[in-house]
Amino acid sequence: MGFHTFDAAKAAKLDDPAARYRYVSAEELVWAVGATGTATLADLGSGTGFYTDDVAAHAETVYGVDVQEAMHDHYRENGVPENVELVTAEVAALPFDDGELDGAFSTMTFHEFADDDAITEIARTVAADGRVAVADWSADGAGEAGPPLAERFGLEEAQARFEAGGFEVEFGASRSETFLLVGRAP
Ligand SMILES: C[S@@+](CC[C@H](N)C(=O)[O-])C[C@H]1O[C@@H](n2cnc3c(N)ncnc32)[C@H](O)[C@@H]1O
């Protein structure tokens, strides 16, 4: 596991478009995932489904994976698209077959699950060459929003962890408060 898990009592904070799209846009996320309309993807730490919905509009199936059932309950109250299936699991123990996923993405959650077991599990479940897109609060950010800087990773550390897990990182950008990384599964 990484740093502390998001408090489900604050779930409603994740549903404010003005606050969310300021840091990560739906358009860049759909681009980063390389969503084609036919892919089976997983959203790792899907929360209330804020970004799951955006990607699901460009995918065949999206598994919304979250360790907290309370976050899925909040997503159900918001309304879950027909092509989204909610899965209660840890990223380090995904209930998918080897290579079952065409790709995966994660928003603002890497710092909560980032360890070798999780990255190994992503590598196992995403098909070879499948895209994995990670957007998260950056340790190199200003700290004006999001978790404390001490609980975040920078782009270089995130990249090193994925590369150690066999991923080829083909895009990385460090911005004012977040980073965006795109890797290819081994
Ligand atoms: C900060 S919220 C972000 C939710 C969503 N990705 C978004 O951007 O709106 C982090 C979410 O990841 C989930 N989470 C944290 N650690 C996890 C883990 N190891 N496995 C699965 N889900 C996890 C939390 O329960 C929470 O719902």
Among candidates 120, 114, 99, which has minimal Cα distance to 42?
99
12 C-alpha to center of ligand 1: Å?
A: 13
E strands, the chain, are: 40-44, 61-66, 84-88, 101-107, 126-137, 168-174, 178-184
Number of domains in the chain: 1
Ligand 1 mutation pick, 109, 111, 119, max ligand atoms within 8 A of CB: 109
Domain assignment present for residue 156? The answer is yes
Domain assignment present for residue 67? The answer is yes
Q: What pLDDT score does 35 carry?
A: 84
175, 132 in Cβ contact below 8 A?
no
- CATH value at residue 163: 3.40.50.150
Among candidates 70, 130, 78, 76, which has minimal Cα distance to 100?
130
Q: What pLDDT score does 27 carry?
A: 96
First to last CA, the chain: 22
Q: What pLDDT score does 44 carry?
A: 98
Give the percent of the chain with pLDDT over 90: 90
Residue that the structure tokens 């499948």 belong to: 130
Q: Find the residues whose C-beta lies inside 6 A of ligand 1.
A: 1, 5-6, 14, 45-48, 50-51, 65-68, 71, 90-91, 107-109, 112-113
Average pLDDT over residues 145-155: 95
Entry pTM: 0.97
Q: Is the pLDDT of residue 55 over 90?
A: yes
181, 159 in Cβ contact below 8 A?
yes
Domain assignment present for residue 35? The answer is yes
Q: What pLDDT score does 9 carry?
A: 83
Amino acid making up residue 82: E
Domain assignment present for residue 161? The answer is yes
Domain, as residue range, for 107:
8-184
Q: What pLDDT score does 1 carry?
A: 54
Domain assignment present for residue 3? The answer is no
Alpha-carbon span 17 to 29, nearest angstrom = 14
Domain assignment present for residue 1? The answer is no
Domain assignment present for residue 166? The answer is yes
CB atoms within 10 A of CB 120: 14
- Give the residue, by CA position, lying nearest to ligand 1 atom 14: 45
Task: Place 3 in a pLDDT band, splitting at 50, 70 and 90.
Answer: low
Q: What is the pLDDT of residues 12-51, one digit of tens each?
A: 889 899 999 999 999 999 999 998 889 999 999 999 999 9
Domain assignment present for residue 172? The answer is yes
Q: What pLDDT score does 7 carry?
A: 84
